A and B are shown apart, each in its own frame.
Chain A
C-alpha cells in the first residue's frame, strides 16, 4: 500500500514564525502536491512538484514556498505565518505510470493553527 505521512497531525504556531510542514511518501512517486482545505472551499492547490528540485505554483501560492531535495520528501514552508493561514494542509503523491496516472494518494493532514 502507498503510504503518505505528514510530520504532525496538529500544530500551533505564533504569528510571524517560520513553519515547516513535512511530507514523505514511500512508493517512489514522481509527483507530489500540497493542498489547503478550508470548510466550504474544498481543496486548493498550493504547489506541485513533478521531480526533484522542480516545482510549479498552484492556485494559491502566496505566502508559501516549497522544497523537494529528495524524491520521497516534499516540504511546505510558511515564511512568516499569519492567522489567515490557519487551515488543514494535505499532502498527496501520484505516479506517472499509465495505470495509476492522475490517481493521487493523500496523507492524513496537518491541522495548523496560527495564533
Chain B
C-alpha cells in the first residue's frame, strides 16, 4: 500500500519569496504523483502531475515539481509567490497499473503575507 507524507502542515511566507512544499511517498511499486490545490471554500484543483518522462514537471500558476525516485520525493516549488497563492496544497500518489484511486497527504497550508 502507498502512503504520502507532507512534512509541513503550515508554511508562512512573504509575497515574492520562493517557496518549497515537501512531499515524500512510500510504495513498493512504481507510482504516479500529483499536486492539488484547494482555495478557501472550494474543491480541489489539479496543479500538476507526473506520469512518466522528464522528472521536472511544470504546472499551472507558475508551480513546478521534481520527481526524485531515489529519495521518493515530489517537492512542489514556486520561485515567487503571490497573495493569491494562499491555499491548502495536497500531494497524492497512485500505483501504476493499480486501481485508479489516489492516496492523499494531509495537506500543507500555504499562507502568503504582504
By a beta-carbon cutoff of 8 Å, the part of chain A in contact with chain B is 4, 31, 33, 40-45, 48, 50, 56, 58, 90, 92, 94, 96, 101-109
Asked whether, in the complex, the Cβ of A102 is within 8 Å of the Cβ of B100, the reply is yes
Asked whether, in the complex, the Cβ of A48 is within 8 Å of the Cβ of B43, the reply is no
Asked whether, in the complex, the Cβ of A42 is within 8 Å of the Cβ of B105, the reply is yes
Which among A41, A45, A107, A109 is the interface contact of B101 at CB below 8 angstroms?
A45
CA distance A42 to B102 in the complex (A): 12
By a beta-carbon cutoff of 8 Å, the part of chain B in contact with chain A is 9, 32, 34, 36, 41-46, 49, 51, 90, 94, 99-102, 104-107
CA distance A33 to B92 in the complex (A): 15
Interface centre among A43, A45, A101, by most chain B C-beta atoms within 10 angstroms, is: A43
Which among B9, B42, B44, B101 is the interface contact of A48 at CB below 8 angstroms?
B101
Instruction: Report chain B residues within 8 Å CB of A58.
Output: 101
CB nearest to A111 among chain B residues: B41
- Taking the closest CB of chain B, its distance from the CB of A46, in whole angstroms, is 11
Which among A4, A45, A102, A108 is the interface contact of B34 at CB below 8 angstroms?
A102
Instruction: Report chain A residues within 8 Å CB of B106.
Output: 40-42
